[in-house]
A and B are shown apart, each in its own frame.
Chain A
Amino acid sequence: MTVPELSVRDVTLRFGGLYALDDVSLTVEPGSLHALIGPNGAGKSSCFNVISGLYRANEGTVTFGDHDLTRTRPHRLARMGIGRSFQNAALSPHSTVLDNVMLGRFALTHGGFLSCGLRLPWTRREERKHAERAAEICDFLGIGAELHAPVGSLPYGAVKRVDLARALAVEPSLLLLDEPAAGTNAAETAELASTIHDIRDELGISILLVEHDMGLVMGIADRVTVLDFGRVIADGPPADVQADPEVVRAYLGSENAEAG
C-alpha cells in the first residue's frame, strides 16, 4: 500500500479578528513520524481540526494525496485512510472497549437499521470478522484483556490506549494523534512513545503527532514543526529544532514574546 503525502499549504484560520493559524505550511512525508509542537494556545489543535475537517480554513489548502481535505466533509476522512485520536479521548464511557474500537470500523463495514436489526447472515459475518480485527488491535496495544469492560471503568492510561486503538481500527495510512500523552504519568508516557514508534515501524504509515511532552517528541519524531501564536517558527529534524533560538525563546519566554 502506498502512503500518500499530507500537505498543509498556507493555511490561515481566523476566529473573528483572532488568527488561530497564520499562513501555516507543513508536509508529512509518507511513512514519517512528524511532530507538531508549541506552547499552549499556539494553534496545534486548531491545525489538527483543520486537517480533520472539523474547522474550515479561511485560506490555504490541505491535501492528502489527490484529495483536497479542505473541501471534504469530516466523515469522509476515515474512508480515505485517515485515523485520529483525541486529546480528551472522546469515547463512549458506558460502552465496552470493543464497542468503542469497533466504531473505527464504521467506514469499512456496511448495513443499516434493518440488516443490523434482522441480524442478516452477511451482516453478522462481517461484524464477527471486524470484531476479530478490533480485538487484535486491542491486544497489540495491551488492552486485550479489557475487551468487554466498559471504558469508564478503566484507568486513564488504558483509556488513552482505547482511543488509539479506535484510530488504528480505521486502518489508516495517516494517523493523527492529538496529545496522546496528555494526563498520563511518566511510565505510561514512555510506554506510549515506544508503542507509537512501533506502530510507525510495523505498519509503515505516516503519523502526525501533536504533543506537549518534549521528551516524548524528541525521542521518536523524524521531523518537528514548531508553532507559536499560530505561525510556524521552526521546521526540521528534532536536534536542529531543539537548538533553534526561536524555539527556545517561545518555550522559555522572553521580553519579546508578547510582541510575537
Chain B
Amino acid sequence: MSEIATKSPPEAPERAPSPKPRRDALWWVRKALWLVVLLVALALPLYLEAEWLKAGQYMMVGAVGAIGLTLLTGQAGQLSLAHAFFLLAGATAYTVLSGPTGDPELLGFGLDPLLALLGAVAISAVLGLAFAPVAGRLRGIYLGVASLSLVFLGLYFGQAAENLTGGTSTGRPPAEFSLFGFPFSNEGDLEILGVPIRETERVWYLFLALTVIAFLLARGAVGGRVGRAWRAVRDNEPAAAVMGVSVWRAKAGAFAVSSAYAGLAGVMTVLWFDLLKPDESEFGTYGINVSIAYLAMIIIGGLGSVPGALVGALLVNGLPQVLALYSTELGWSTGTGEHAFTPILISSFVYGAAIILVVLFEPGGLAAIGRRIAGRLSGKQRERNGS
C-alpha cells in the first residue's frame, strides 16, 4: 500500500481527470426512473387483483434467477444449463429445513423459515461450488452440455429421494414463510388504505424485497472488484491471471453466486406454488425448458446486464401468466387438449421469436438498446449545452 504514496506519477498534472462518472441530467433521470419503478411495485398490491399479483410474483421469481444466470453467463462467460437444477436444490433445501420434525415419512428440521431460506441459499451455493472443478475445465458449449447433466441428476434425485421431496405423486407443501413471527399468510388483520393485506399481498412484498436485494447485490458486485475479475476471465484468461486474478477461483465464485441466486429463486418458486413437487419428466418445473427459459431471459435482456435480466424475466415469465389471465378475461377459447393453442405455447413462440430477433439485430439485447437510447439523449444534451 505504501507504494501508492511513494510512487507518484511523473509530471503529475495539477488536476487529475475524475475517475467518477459525471452526474449529469441523464444520471438523475435514470435514478428517478428506478424510484418510480419501485414506487409502482410497492403500490400495485393496493390496486391489483390477487391473480395479477400472482403473475407479478412469478416474474420476480424469474428476475432473481435470471440475475444469477446473467452474472455467470454474461459476466463470467460460463454457459450454464444447470439453472433449473439449482432451483430444485434451493426449493428442496427450504422445504426440508423448514419442514416439521418427527414425520416418519418426510425429513424435516423445523427451522425458522428465514433461517431455512438462508440455509437453502447457502446449500445451493455449496452445490454450485461442488460443480466448480468441472466448470473450471470446460468452456462454451461443452460446459453447457456438462451442466445440463445436473438437470437430469435433479430429475432422478427428486423422484428417488421421496423423504426429502415428497415424491412425484403428492409432492410436499413447504412451510409458510414468516419473518420474526410475522406470518406471510391470511392470518391477522392488516390493512393499508383500506385494502386488506393478505397472503398474496404479503408474499408480493416479500418477493419484492428479495428481488431488490438480489438486484442491488448484483449491481454492486458487477461494478466492483468481483465483476471486474469475472469480465477479465471471460475476455482473456491469461491476461486476467497476469493481473492477479486466480482464474479458477473467479470461475468457481461465479458458479457459487449464480447457484445461490438460483437457489433463492427455487425457494421463491416453492413459496409461489405452495408445493414442492419433483418433476415427472425433464420438461417440468425444474426441467430443461426452465433452464432454457432462463437463458432466454438473459439473452433477450442482454448478456451480463442486470437490469436486462430483470426485463427479460418480466417478458419470459410474465407473458404466459398475463396471456392466461387475458384469455379468461377476454373469453378466448384456449382449450386444453394436446394440440391446444395454450398461453404457454403462444408465449414460447413469442420469446423464441424474440431471441431470434435479438441475436440477428441486436446481440447486446435490450440492454444495448437502452444504452443506445441513453447515448442519443446524452448526445443531444451535450449539443444543447454546447450551443
What's the tally of chain B residues with a CB closer than 8 Å to chain A?
A: 48
Q: Is A112 an interface residue (CB 8 A)?
A: yes
Which residues of the other chain, A, contact B13 by a CB distance below 8 angstroms? 139, 144
Partner of A170, one of B8, B216, B224, B244: B244
What separation, in Å, do the CA atoms of A115 and B219 have in the docked complex?
12
Q: Is B228 an interface residue (CB 8 A)?
A: yes
A1 touches B12 (CB 8 A): no
| B interface with A by C-beta (< 8 Å) | 1, 3-4, 6-13, 16-22, 216-221, 223-229, 231-232, 234-236, 238-247, 253, 257
Given A106-B244, A132-B19: A117 and B225 interface contact (C-beta under 8 Å): no
Which residues of the other chain, B, contact A79 by a CB distance below 8 angstroms? 244
Given A134-B19, A170-B244: A108 and B1 interface contact (C-beta under 8 Å): yes
Q: How far, in Å, is A91 (CB) from chain B's closest CB?
A: 7
Which residues of the other chain, A, contact B22 by a CB distance below 8 angstroms? 148
A74 touches B228 (CB 8 A): no
Q: Is A179 an interface residue (CB 8 A)?
A: no
A-B contact pairs, 13 of them (CB 8 A): A74-B238, A75-B240, A75-B242, A92-B234, A93-B235, A106-B243, A110-B225, A116-B220, A127-B224, A135-B17, A136-B16, A171-B3, A203-B10
Which residues of the other chain, A, contact B21 by a CB distance below 8 angstroms? 148
Q: How far, in Å, is A45 (CB) from chain B's closest CB?
A: 11
Q: Which of A86-116 contact B (CB under 8 A)?
A: 86, 90-93, 95, 98-99, 102-104, 106-114, 116
Which residues of the other chain, B, contact A203 by a CB distance below 8 angstroms? 7, 10
Partner of A84, one of B4, B219, B242, B247: B242
Q: Is A252 an interface residue (CB 8 A)?
A: no
What separation, in Å, do the CA atoms of A109 and B10 have in the docked complex?
23
Given contacts A74-B241, A99-B228, A171-B4, 11 further A-B contacts (CB under 8 A): A1-B7, A75-B244, A90-B238, A103-B243, A108-B1, A109-B225, A110-B225, A113-B226, A131-B19, A135-B18, A201-B10
What separation, in Å, do the CA atoms of A134 and B228 have in the docked complex?
14
Q: Is A8 an interface residue (CB 8 A)?
A: no
What separation, in Å, do the CA atoms of A102 and B383 have in the docked complex?
31
A123 touches B224 (CB 8 A): yes
Task: Please give me the residue from chain A that is nearest to B1 by CB atom.
Answer: A108
Q: Is A54 an interface residue (CB 8 A)?
A: yes
Which residues of the other chain, B, contact A127 by a CB distance below 8 angstroms? 224-225
Q: How far, in Å, is A131 (CB) from chain B's closest CB?
A: 4
What separation, in Å, do the CA atoms of A79 and B3 have in the docked complex?
12
Given A139-B13, A140-B10: A75 and B224 interface contact (C-beta under 8 Å): no
Given A112-B253, A135-B16: A118 and B239 interface contact (C-beta under 8 Å): no
Most A C-beta atoms less than 10 A away, residue of B18, B219, B221: B221
B238 touches A54 (CB 8 A): yes
Which residues of the other chain, B, contact A113 by a CB distance below 8 angstroms? 217, 221, 226, 253, 257
Which residues of the other chain, B, contact A74 by a CB distance below 8 angstroms? 238, 241-242
Given A1-B3, A90-B236: A170 and B225 interface contact (C-beta under 8 Å): no
B221 touches A170 (CB 8 A): no
Which residues of the other chain, B, contact A108 by a CB distance below 8 angstroms? 1, 4
What separation, in Å, do the CA atoms of A118 and B9 have in the docked complex?
32
| A117-133 Cβ-contact flags toward B at 8 Å (1 or 0) | 11100010001110111
Partner of B243, one of A132, A140, A166: A166
Partner of B220, one of A117, A132, A139, A202: A117
Most A C-beta atoms less than 10 A away, residue of B19, B221, B236: B19
A118 touches B217 (CB 8 A): yes
What separation, in Å, do the CA atoms of A127 and B328 have in the docked complex?
53
B241 touches A202 (CB 8 A): no
A144 touches B239 (CB 8 A): no
Given A90-B236, A119-B220, A136-B9: A106 and B17 interface contact (C-beta under 8 Å): no
Which residues of the other chain, A, contact B11 by a CB distance below 8 angstroms? 140, 202
Q: Is A52 an interface residue (CB 8 A)?
A: yes
B231 touches A92 (CB 8 A): yes
Q: Is A147 an interface residue (CB 8 A)?
A: yes
Q: Is A198 an interface residue (CB 8 A)?
A: yes
Q: Is A11 an interface residue (CB 8 A)?
A: no
